A and B are shown apart, each in its own frame.
Chain A
Amino acid sequence: MYNGIPVSWYLVVSAILFTLGVIGVLVRRNPLTIFMSIELMLNAVNLSLITFSTYLNSVDGQMFVFLVLTVAAAEVVVGLAIIVSIFRTRRNINVDEMNILRG
């Protein structure tokens, strides 16, 4: 690649970011933090998509990235709206206490 940085490094960074995102989703209780972790995972994936796009000299990967960004933005809009609504009714947004749908 350009500066002699091999592809695998990009991918390693992407994997690390993704893993951090997964861990964030699993261990955090605040839905905002969980959201940020999900964004982290999505962007890790975006990073690897761009890497491959450049590596393969194809724009397909970049188009996917645009798509993911759009969806992520939409998802955040809906998600935040839900969180706000939950907070308004329950005065509490701890995900561990939101278990009224248990079997």
Chain B
Amino acid sequence: MTNLTLWVLVFPLLGFILLGLFGKAMPRQAILTIAWGASGLALFFATIGFLSMMKTTPDAARISDQVIYSWVNSGTVATGVLSNNVPLNISFGLLLDPLSATMLMIVTGVGFLIHIYSAGYMEDDPGFWRFFAYMNFFIFAMALLVSADNFLFLLVGWALVGLASFLLIGFWFTRRSAVAAARKALVINIIGDFGLLLAIFLIFQNYHTLNYLSNSAGNGVFNQVTQGGVAVGITTAICLLLFVGCAAKSAQLPLYMWLPDAMEGPTPVSALIHAATMVTAGVYLVARANPLFQVSPDALIVVAIVGGATALFSATIALTQLDIKRVLAYSTISQLGYMFMAEGAQNYTAGVFHLTTHAYFKALLFLGAGSVIHALGGEQDMRQMGGLRHRLKITYWTFLIAALAISGIIPLAGFWSKDEIVGSLFARALNGGGTLFYVLWGVALLTAALTAFYMFRLVFGIFFGSYRGSGPRAHGHDDEELFEEEEHRGGHGGFYAIYESPSIMTVPLIILAVLSVIGGLVGSYALFGRPAVYPFGHFLAPLFTNNAWTNITVPEMPLSLGMSWISAGASLGLAGLGILVAWLRYRRGFEYKASRNPLYLLSFNKYYIDELCIAVIIKPLKWLGRTANSLLEGGVLDGGSRGIAWVASGVSSGLRRLQTGYMRNYALAILFGVVLLLIYYAVMRG
């Protein structure tokens, strides 16, 4: 098996460096060549690695851990916490196994498509080169995150994708709101990074290594899990701290607030980073660290509960939002909650499967929304849309496919993965999971119905009914004056001035639509009762079900054919119900009515979480800052230094009276001193 992961990393990094240093002076075509070339080559090498893995037999041989260089090699540590003579060795290595191969395919594949799409979307942006430099940087960082073979370089990738996300959210840095959103994302992600860092410290303290698996550079953490010697409590602490990192990166409760705000970035960024790839890093990490989670049932239950709560919570918010990107953002949070639920129910395969299909249809939804926004010249408010299916045909059909897929309509991709998650929750409930997992199963079903409803509210709101806006805004929509003029009905043709996006944008939409249709078939086994021919599960089995490399086996949760049909039928029926309700309500077009219903207001205002945060965290912090400023800074520090100055000036103004300026006084003082010295010698030495 060939491990070409290094090349997957090198080209985007090279592209970033070239574009970052010289991009400003480059013509458009050169920028595109470098950016597309870098991400295309990354995709090429990832595909070669993936294909060569597919050809490798047996399954247990589908792993390649390439240690590239030894970064820290300290010899043994004689004293301190690590007193039992453990060497501190950290190496930089790249791990290619089924999980990282899958992730690399998603990252580079979706990344490449979005690179192409962005060429159209960012066409007139003055920061064209900067955008592609950051995008290449993101591909590099994310590929590092998923292919690192130890926790330290995972953290490096983790922090770098956070940086890429910060840079791209704040891409339009002249907008105050974009800068605020970028800062918010960074701050919340730092909380997560801190949790991850603490987890890594604990791992090193207890397992004396940071490698995932044993390789030429030393022992692996996961190989030692079954050897005992580390208390379950410690492992639980490690898992929970890891999950803090995952929750921040994957926008789970209570650290989800940054993701809706992250929609301030350009739409392709929302599609790539804040929907398809980066936010799934948390799901990836839990799947990657499954041997640790597997020995800590408590941590798994926390993961499942947080996932379930997030899925339902954010789905209810998505019901009432008016900004189409915000609806999609909350939908992303909700779908990530699904993935964590599956992982909490010990079905990691289902989580990663949903991650994969979600990457297709959520990228498609965002790119479709981007196409709508592009056609309307920057308009994101659903109240200003409607009837667009007549003008944006390709966007409409692809968006509809994605909406059907995310709603879980058979036989699109979302159906299979969502059904597997719902089924895994049901199976966990039947296999000793108890009430909690029945509740989570119910939550998953309810969320499925809500998902279908809000997605079709969006579809009907954007594409059905009659057009409610006043034609596309002028390009360069920051130009308020021009915009005002347009508002007063200039020569613009209103609805007929709206044109479908160029083919550079629609082709990626079509490709993603195809993937959203067929992408789930690799997991379409459950309803036919043939687990043996489940290609996706089989592919990932060495990591999850019959762990070939770590001796940890995840227990099978059998679900009889009848039960899986009940579960699938329930989720399908509820999704259909959601679509039906949306159809009844919105088929003639979306109409915004301010409602006084308290439940509506609660959802519309996002449960007042932002306001709550401001009141509970930010205000007290600000008060603390002000108080510290006046008390510590003003009273203690300033007071102290002012006191010292006061003493010094008091003493010196006393002393200056000695300097009379009369020469004869000085002479007298000298004489006096001499006499004193003489007396001293006469008395002491005499």
Write the residues of chain A forming the contact surface with B, with a CB cutoff of 8 angstroms: 22, 25-27, 29, 95-96, 98-103
Contacts and interface: CB of A to CB of B under 8 A. Distances in A.
Contact of B663 (A22, A98, A103): A98
Interface in B653-673: 655-664, 667-668, 671
Contacts of B657: 103
Interface residues of B, number: 13
Contacts of B667: 25-26
Contact of A99 (B655, B656, B661, B671): B661
A26 B664 contact: yes
A22 B662 contact: no
Given A26-B664, A29-B664, 7 more contacts: A26-B667, A98-B661, A99-B660, A99-B662, A101-B661, A102-B662, A103-B656
Contacts of A96: 662-664
B664 A102 contact: no
A103 B652 CA distance: 10
B659 A101 contact: yes
Given A95-B664, A96-B664, A26 B671 contact: yes
A56 B655 CA distance: 47
A25 B662 CA distance: 12
A13 to B, nearest CB: 19
Given A22-B671, A26-B668, A102 B660 contact: yes
A102 B668 contact: no
B650 to A, nearest CB: 14
A27 B667 CA distance: 10
Contacts of B663: 95-96, 98
Nearest to B667: A25
9 contacts: A22-B671, A26-B668, A29-B664, A96-B662, A96-B664, A99-B660, A99-B661, A99-B662, A103-B659
A98 B659 CA distance: 13
B671 A102 contact: no
Contacts of B658: 103
B675 to A, nearest CB: 10
B677 to A, nearest CB: 15
Interface of B: 655-664, 667-668, 671
A49 to B, nearest CB: 18
Contacts of B668: 26
Q: Which 5 A-B pairs give the minimum distances between C-beta atoms?
A: A102-B661, A99-B661, A103-B656, A103-B659, A95-B663
Contacts of A98: 661, 663
B660 to A, nearest CB: 5
A101 to B, nearest CB: 5
A45 B660 CA distance: 30
A103 B663 CA distance: 13
B405 to A, nearest CB: 89
Contacts of B656: 103
A26 B672 CA distance: 12
B667 to A, nearest CB: 5
Contacts of A103: 655-661
Nearest to B659: A103
A100 to B, nearest CB: 7
Nearest to A28: B664
A38 to B, nearest CB: 10
A20 B178 CA distance: 90
A99 B661 CA distance: 4
A103 B662 CA distance: 11
A95 B667 CA distance: 12
A100 B663 CA distance: 11
Contact of B659 (A22, A25, A29, A102): A102
Nearest to B657: A103
Contacts of A26: 664, 667-668, 671
A43 B662 CA distance: 26
A99 B663 CA distance: 8
A27 B663 CA distance: 11
Nearest to A31: B663
A43 to B, nearest CB: 18
A25 B658 CA distance: 20
